[in-house]
Structure 1
Amino acid sequence: MEAKLAFSQDSPPISSICAAKVAGIPLSIDPSLAAGSVPTLQFGSGESLHGVNPILHFIARGASFSSFSGQNAIEFGHAVEWLEYASIFLSGSEFENACSFVDGYLAFRTFLVGHGLTIADIAVWSNLAENLRKSKKYQNLVCWFNSIDTEYRDTLNEIVAAYVGKRGIGKSPAPSFKEKVHDSKDPSAPEVDLPGAKVGQVCGRFAPEPSGYQGRLIVRFDDTNPSKESSEFVENLLKDIETLGIKYDAVMYASDYFPKLMEMAESLIKQGKAYIDDTPKEQVRKERMYGIESRCRNSTVEENLSLRKEMVNGTERGMQCCVRGKLDMQDPNKSLRDPVYYRCNTDPHHRVGSKYKVYPTYDFACPFVDALEGVTHALCSNMGLRRVKIYEFSRLNMVYTLLSKRKLLWFVQNKKVEDWTDPRFPSVQGIVRRGLKVEALIQFILQQGASKNLNLMEWDKLWTINKKIIDPVCARHTAVLKDQRVIFTLTNGPEKPFVRILPRHKKCEAARKKATTFANRIWLDYADASAISKGEEVTLMDWGNAIIKEIKMENGVITEVVGELHLEGSVKTTKLKTTWLADIDELVPLSLVEFDYLISKKKLEDDEDFLDNLNPCTRREIPALGDANMRNIKLGEVIQLERKGYYRCDAPFIRSSKHVVLFAIPDGRQQASLN
């Protein structure tokens, strides 16, 4: 529906104009209203809307992309709250307080509401457009502002240039700063309805055993299977929790309760609620399937206690037995048909050594330990046997990815990867080492929700979220490929090299500065040199234009390009904008590392062996040279190499003879195979 936006020339509603442009809603501008009039949206039908916020509500609902009004009614409500709050940035007395509040609010968020651009972002952005550019105090706020500025630069800057400085946006009353702080509810946080939960009295935990690297919350290690567990996994699980920024109250182990669990099992036998069964495993499975009671089910207490003693001592007779609960062999849930409570295992335990020869099953230990520790709600993958309230969710499967710890262990043991922190691994430390921000991981998980349906997700969405987080703040540097570079001689270039101080990120002051050397001999990537022709004018980024005078070749290979600077030339008219590096001794040796998936098939079927689907080439290193400023890049720092992509520093500069190692970070676009 086309409409006309009419407003007073002395008080243009910049937020409404910007919102309409971004949302793709056609508006004709009529700045002819009398001074002091509120803006009006006039429709062809003769109807109209008056005031900034009603107009913004209309625009949000009519936007061409779904997230502009939020993903649901609650998010739209939060967006409306921000529309009311936005006008506080036009008040000189409250401006600093408002900036401080929103700066803290954006510390772990990409957008003001939910996980996409909404009307709230545009309203706040437009009210900040005049003042925030001058501010150096609020890093998160500035980066958020610049990310929107970058994404919609052409759309927004035209409006800002035309109207900023003439503003007087609608004066709808805004809540006081203190009221907003104390009454604010995280508009992007998902709400999970925990049955039976009482405010302030919830104690939660995650349940898996420490047989692989994954995260926990209350941290309890259900270490009931010594054949799979190790202290190495425990240490790395705790490191994962630290990496994810999760704070916990205590670290507990199921093995702390082994003596009490032994007493419980003996008590159940004495009460006739459990028995010792020496039936072979395959026969047990068949009997469970058809609801047939074991021949051992009616053994006497004395017979059961005698066999239990054999189990505790780990004798040959005892190793043939297990303790089973006497429940209901006709239960529709076959896993509840006399489940196993204890089984023998002579492998040493990572904490208690060889003290025990019998160990409780996970399903027996968890309810008992939950009760002792006061757990009220358990978060776990789908399974039964719980008196604690369960909030179940499915495992999130990713394409081209193995999540089985047994299969991942094969890669470690066979030296196909470095270790469990390898960037090709789907472990927390692995993907963080590759360059994924924890904030992106959290956003991705929250967007999926706690679904009980099995999900097979593409990696692209996760890396796209990550790019939106790192791009507004990561520093820019320059590199050329060491084995694929060509010298470019500038005949009228500077006789002596000189240095200019330039920003490491043109829109994020927090990224600091860098020193760029300008010289009459510079390096180009071979791909750029091969794309130009004699007589062509090209742009040298951060310098100006140059005209190609000669391209020297030997045996069909370009060996040198000769040209002259033409700094008065227009960068808008050139076809090629190329990166370059001065030919100086201070260039930093780099190793650019690219990764591919460990397996070559998106999803393995149950009957497929992962060994038949291994990707033959999953890591490739490319030598390069970087600008001298890369000596100062820190371990773990994320940067962008101009026109090459995003990288995370895995090994910083030590000396010139040792490469700086940079891991390529996917940006959400389909990656080329390394094969």
Structure 2
Amino acid sequence: MELKLSFSSDSPLLSVIAAAKIAGISLSFNPTLSSGSPPTLLLAEGLEQGINELLRYLGGNGTILNFYGIDAFESGQIDKWLECASVFASGSEFEGACAYVDEYLRQCTFLVGHNLSIADIAIWSSLAGTGQRWESLRKSKKYQNLVRWFNSIFVEYNDALSEVISTFVGKKGLGKPMASKVKGKEQQDSNPHSKHVNGSANERAMYQGQVIVRFDDTNPAKESNEFVDNILKDIQTLGIKYEKVTYMSDYFPKLMEKAEELICEGKAYVDDTPRDQMQKERMDGIESKCRNNSSEENMKLWEEMIAGSERGLQCCLRGKLDMQDPNKSLRDPVYYRCNPMPHHRIGSKYKIYPTYDFACPFFDAEEGITHALRSSEYHDRNAQYFRIQKDMGARKVLLYEFCRLNMVYTLLSKRKLLWFVQNGKVDGWDDPRFPTVQGIVRRGLKVEALVQFILEQGASKNLNLMEWDKLWTINKKIIFPVCSRHTAVIEERRVLLTLTNGPEDPFVRIIPMHKKYKDAREKATTYTENMDRSC
């Protein structure tokens, strides 16, 4: 059934509309009330008026469990938060309110209880409705708990919340979300594995973008369909929706054209210097003997490389940058190498393959990326990235660095983990002992715990080595309020106990598996003086 919502054009309805979207309640809008009139919801049994009254109605009639609290005590707490939501609209009290909620969220995932409630939606919407004021505060590190909570709700319910913000915040003149395209996701208006993917999904939610899954399959010796399939499974397990999957190998023809243009323009040359000698010359800033060959000579050797001939296998294509630059990544880096090994997607069509450093700047510009998220291990090659784009005549892409996520005593490299799979040390990529998304989910980790853990780390540029305990602590806070309670005895260690004055005749009671979680199943419990009497 669709409910009719009437309101005045100056009435702040962000929380009501967001709550309805999340609760699965369909609303039609009628913005014709006079200025200052309270919003009204037309029901079969009459009218509900006022923002908080509408929120309470939606909280009690939606599809979200315990949206208006699990009991009367929680409902009372939610009512207090609803009254506080309007404080964020007050200019003089805004930061004071942010500080209060930030401190409150230091030990909490949600404002009330262990589930999302209309209290969270009311406060979240009040912050989002302040537009640029909250966005500027959000970028600072002043209220980290508040930002963590705000971002986690946005990611969890990004489809509903993004639609509401883009439609109604803009109409109120508070500005629209920033328009940008980010590597790994694409914005329609203009923008170590789980950390990168979750960060990309969070940016996509914030800026109304699209998630693009990209595979940098430039080295046939180190890529396989197995990697692709399991990475996609991990992304699916995380609940992240992506619009398309792209591969660098799809751009190989265009990359070869660009390489040939650079050769003809004297910005690249073919070098047959042995690898060890080439590395030493780069370290010492010594120019290769091939550096000043003519474009015609370079094109002949380039054709040999394309054919994969014995002569071509001795060569590589290098960019002609600056052999005396203090940044050694600019000392004529390699753009193309010969490799006769078949590619896992395109077979033996090519005998030459671009390096990641050459392909990535072109690929980012070609896909319309405006901000590329790169781990800090590539920091020294940023200058090379920009120089290659300039030589290609490609649009400049901004780089945003973050530090890779490292876990103590844990291998996270897929190529190192592959050894365990190939040698039968584990049952597969979803083995519960494996640090893959599929593996740790099979071990009992909730996806929302992993997302919250990643968001709490943020896009830090500092090297971090995280303990697993923190992740499992977050997981416990999520599952403890809702998991069933069971009792068991290890058969080999059982001891018979006889209760004095216990019931001689056994009887059975049906009791809930969780006293506070009403949706938990029930179990049959036998009461007797000893179990032998009940058997």
Which TM-score bucket, shorter chain as reference? 0.5 to 0.7
Deviation, structure 1 residue 491: 6.9
AA partner of residue 258 (structure 2): M
Aligned to 2:58: 97
Equivalent pair of 1:501/1:516 in contact (CA under 8 Å): yes
Cα–Cα, structure 1 residues 506 and 338, in superposed 2: closer, same or farther, change >3 Å?
Answer: same
CA distance in structure 1 between the aligned counterparts of 2:526 and 2:277, rounded to whole angstroms? 78
Match 1:410 to one of 419, 423, 426: 419
CA distance in structure 1 between the aligned counterparts of 2:334 and 2:534, rounded to whole angstroms? 72
Alignment of 1:558-637 (within 5 A): none
Question: Secondary structure of the equivalent of 1:415?
Answer: coil
Aligned to 2:12: none
Deviation, structure 1 residue 266: 1.3
Aligned to 1:430: 439
Question: Secondary structure of the equivalent of 1:391?
Answer: strand
Question: Secondary structure of the equivalent of 1:483?
Answer: helix
CA distance in structure 2 between the aligned counterparts of 1:319 and 1:184, rounded to whole angstroms? 61
Aligned to 2:269: 275
Equivalent pair of 2:217/2:247 in contact (CA under 8 Å): yes
Aligned to 1:670: none
Deviation, structure 1 residue 435: 1.3
Aligned to 1:189: 150
Following TM superposition, the consecutive aligned residue runs of length 4 or more in structure 1 with deviations greater than 6 angstroms are 88-93, 104-107, 125-128, 175-179, 211-215
CA distance in structure 1 between the aligned counterparts of 2:499 and 2:277, rounded to whole angstroms? 84
Select between 487-496 and 451-460 the one with higher mean Cα deviation.
Answer: 487-496
Equivalent pair of 2:195/2:405 in contact (CA under 8 Å): no
Match 2:336 to one of 334, 342, 345: 342
Q: TM-score, normalised by structure 1?
A: 0.51
CA distance in structure 2 between the aligned counterparts of 1:105 and 1:278, rounded to whole angstroms? 70
**Are residue 451 (structure 1) and residue 460 (structure 2) matched?**
yes
CA distance in structure 2 between the aligned counterparts of 1:176 and 1:244, rounded to whole angstroms? 27
CA distance in structure 1 between the aligned counterparts of 2:125 and 2:424, rounded to whole angstroms? 58
Which structure's CA Rg is the greater one?
A: 1
Question: Secondary structure of the equivalent of 1:456?
Answer: strand
**Are residue 399 (structure 1) and residue 377 (structure 2) matched?**
no
Once the two structures are superposed, residues 155-183 of structure 1 have per-residue CA deviations (whole angstroms, 9 ceiling, x without a partner) of xxxxxxxxxxxxxxxxxxxx999985983
AA partner of residue 204 (structure 1): V
Question: Secondary structure of the equivalent of 1:480?
Answer: coil
**Are residue 467 (structure 1) and residue 476 (structure 2) matched?**
yes
**Are residue 323 (structure 1) and residue 317 (structure 2) matched?**
yes
**Are residue 441 (structure 1) and residue 387 (structure 2) matched?**
no
CA distance in structure 1 between the aligned counterparts of 2:67 and 2:430, rounded to whole angstroms? 29
CA distance in structure 2 between the aligned counterparts of 1:317 and 1:436, rounded to whole angstroms? 54
Deviation, structure 1 residue 342: 0.7
AA partner of residue 504 (structure 1): M
AA partner of residue 408 (structure 1): L
Select between 323-332 and 351-360 the one with higher mean Cα deviation.
Answer: 323-332
Deviation, structure 1 residue 316: 1.9
Cα–Cα, structure 1 residues 94 and 361, in superposed 2: closer, same or farther, change >3 Å?
Answer: closer
Question: Secondary structure of the equivalent of 1:516?
Answer: strand
CA distance in structure 2 between the aligned counterparts of 1:182 and 1:98, rounded to whole angstroms? 20
Deviation, structure 1 residue 327: 0.9
CA distance in structure 2 between the aligned counterparts of 1:475 and 1:463, rounded to whole angstroms? 18
CA distance in structure 2 between the aligned counterparts of 1:379 and 1:121, rounded to whole angstroms? 42
> What RMSD over aligned residues (CA atoms) do the two structures have, in Å?
3.9
Deviation, structure 1 residue 127: 7.7
Aligned to 1:204: 182
Equivalent pair of 2:81/2:123 in contact (CA under 8 Å): no
Deviation, structure 1 residue 252: 0.8
Question: Secondary structure of the equivalent of 1:242?
Answer: helix
AA partner of residue 482 (structure 1): E
Once the two structures are superposed, residues 114-143 of structure 1 have per-residue CA deviations (whole angstroms, 9 ceiling, x without a partner) of xxxxxx999548789xxxxxxxxxxxx9x9
AA partner of residue 447 (structure 2): V
Equivalent pair of 2:322/2:332 in contact (CA under 8 Å): yes
Q: Point out the structure with the larger helix share.
A: 2
Select between 304-313 and 181-190 the one with higher mean Cα deviation.
Answer: 181-190
Aligned to 1:421: 430
Question: Secondary structure of the equivalent of 2:519?
Answer: helix
CA distance in structure 1 between the aligned counterparts of 2:438 and 2:313, rounded to whole angstroms? 39
CA distance in structure 2 between the aligned counterparts of 1:280 and 1:411, rounded to whole angstroms? 34
**Are residue 290 (structure 1) and residue 288 (structure 2) matched?**
no
Match 1:223 to one of 195, 217, 221: 217
Cα–Cα, structure 1 residues 121 and 519, in superposed 2: closer, same or farther, change >3 Å?
Answer: closer
Deviation, structure 1 residue 515: 2.3
**Are residue 510 (structure 1) and residue 519 (structure 2) matched?**
yes
AA partner of residue 183 (structure 2): R
- Aligned residue-pair number: 380
Deviation, structure 1 residue 326: 0.8
Aligned to 1:355: 349
**Are residue 481 (structure 1) and residue 475 (structure 2) matched?**
no
Deviation, structure 1 residue 414: 2.2
Question: Secondary structure of the equivalent of 1:283?
Answer: helix
Once the two structures are superposed, residues 306-330 of structure 1 have per-residue CA deviations (whole angstroms, 9 ceiling, x without a partner) of 1111111112221111111111112
Aligned to 1:550: none
Deviation, structure 1 residue 332: 2.3
CA distance in structure 2 between the aligned counterparts of 1:105 and 1:261, rounded to whole angstroms? 55
Question: Secondary structure of the equivalent of 2:222?
Answer: coil
Q: TM-score, normalised by structure 2?
A: 0.63
Q: Point out the structure with the larger strand share.
A: 1
CA distance in structure 2 between the aligned counterparts of 1:367 and 1:105, rounded to whole angstroms? 49
